Amino acid sequence: MNEKLSREVFRFSAPPSIKSFASVVGKKEADGPLGKYFDVCDEDSYFGEDTWEKAESRLQKLAVRTALSKARLDASDIDFMFAGDLVNQCTSSTYGLRELNIPLFGIYGACSTMAEGLLLSAMAVNAGYAGLSLNVTSSHFSTAERQFRFPLSYGGQRTPSSQWTCTASGAVVLSAEGTAPCILGGAVGTVTDFGITDANNMGAAMAPAAASVITKYLCVTKTKPTDYDAIVTGDLGEVGSGLLYDLLMREGTDIREVHRDCGVMIFDGETQDTHAGGSGCGCSASVLCGYFLKKLCDGEMKNILFAATGALMSPMIVEQGETIPSISHLVHISSEKNRTES
């Protein structure tokens, strides 16, 4: 049912089809360069709720409902789902999704969650465990800032390397049957730690994880960067993207021509005061579901590698003197169902 190319790299023999996908964002994301691509925008940062955590739960549920309705599916059609988010105890997922009554595998990969979920979901569908599997993740500026950095009302100055946590969510339904776009394969990430300790420089913490998983996939599949229309990273931002280029150049790999970073794409740093770019699980999830999957459906792109990156930062243990490890999982998404790599 699948081809195992190395310890952590797979190619699927029955590539799961992307049956539906949806993106939901807040006002700032809708005002950015990708605004027209997103399915739903709610200008109310509370999404009709009275706390930010409840707002993010509502946001995530809205992404799932939108993905289901676009494919005329009911929640009961989904075999099971993979979901997680940044709020402690993955609150947005467990509270946001409970009324759907879909069996749930909770996952935690920080901002790599969309790639981790897509990989697990594709593994499950390819192997026949699910006919339809869903994955979803989200982030919210206000839940993340107070949990990981400062209370918003503190009004702290943001450093040049800091990123802006997106209020956004993305959801994808994979199907055992159907046409392209589909998930051809992927790679499981390994925790990587280059000794970064600055909670306002997540891009630097995550770049080594992205470099590692991209190098592994290219090497094992014997492909080169220009075989892809885009090699997409999650939320390295301007600072992390530059470090990624440096790290890959040391291995003799130049991805600059095809590299796109969701964190760089989602905001206009010059006019939106977002410093190094966007971040959060919802950043890469909404840009994948809003922009890249539409480009794959339209035929404007044929093959992308999607490597969402997660900083596995615990504010408590960083205060105890620890560094910030990171992880990045990768999936290969194609508009050609039967493509075989060279």
Contact 120, 105 (CB under 8 A): yes
Which residue in 36, 72, 103, 340 binds a second copy (CB under 8 A)? 103
Contact 286, 213 (CB under 8 A): no
d(CA 55, CA 141): 11
310 sits in the region (left: phi over 0; alpha: psi -120 to 50; else beta) called beta
Asked if 327 is part of the footprint of a second copy (rule: CB under 8 A), the reply reads: yes
Q: Residue 101 or 226: which CB sits closer to a second copy?
A: 101
Contact segment (CB under 8 A) with a second copy among 21-29, 85-93, 152-160, 332-340 equals 85-93
Contact segment (CB under 8 A) with a second copy among 32-40, 79-87, 267-275, 287-295 equals 79-87
Asked if 2 is part of the footprint of a second copy (rule: CB under 8 A), the reply reads: yes
Q: Cβ 38 to a second copy, closest distance in Å? A: 26
Contact 18, 168 (CB under 8 A): no
DSSP states of 37-78 = G-SEE-S-TTTTSSSHHHHHHHHHHHHHHHHHHHTT--GGG-
Contact 62, 92 (CB under 8 A): no
- Strands 330-334 and 303-307, sheet pairing: antiparallel
Q: Residue 192 or 335: which CB sits closer to a second copy?
A: 192
Nearest partner of 138 among 166, 164, 163, judged by Cα: 166
- How many residues in the chain? 342
The neighbour count for residue 254, using CB atoms within 10 Å, is: 14
Q: Residue 186 or 237: which CB sits closer to a second copy?
A: 186
Contacts with a second copy, 297-326, as mask; x by CB under 8 A:
---------------xxxxxx--x-x--x-
Which residue in 44, 98, 179, 256 binds a second copy (CB under 8 A)? 98
Which residue in 24, 87, 232, 301 binds a second copy (CB under 8 A)? 87
Prior bond of 151 cis (ω within 30°): no
Asked if 258 is part of the footprint of a second copy (rule: CB under 8 A), the reply reads: no
Which residue in 191, 197, 249, 251 binds a second copy (CB under 8 A)? 191
Q: Cβ 274 to a second copy, closest distance in Å? A: 23
d(CA 326, CA 195): 10
Count the site residues for a second copy by CB under 8 A. Answer: 56
Contacts with a second copy, 11-40, as mask; x by CB under 8 A:
------------------------------
Q: Residue 189 or 277: which CB sits closer to a second copy?
A: 189
Alpha-carbon torsion (246, 249, 251, 256), positive or negative: positive
Contacts with a second copy, 40-69, as mask; x by CB under 8 A:
----------xx-xx---------------
Residue 63, classified by CB atoms within 10 Å of its CB into exposed (0-12), middle (13-18) or buried (19+), is: buried
The neighbour count for residue 284, using CB atoms within 10 Å, is: 37
Amino acid at 62: L
Q: Cβ 256 to a second copy, closest distance in Å? A: 27
Which residue in 34, 104, 214, 218 binds a second copy (CB under 8 A)? 104
Q: Residue 111 or 333: which CB sits closer to a second copy?
A: 111
Interface residue list for a second copy (CB under 8 A): 1-2, 4, 7-8, 10, 50-51, 53-54, 79-80, 84, 87-91, 94-95, 97-98, 101-110, 116, 120, 123-124, 126-129, 188-193, 312-317, 320, 322, 325, 327
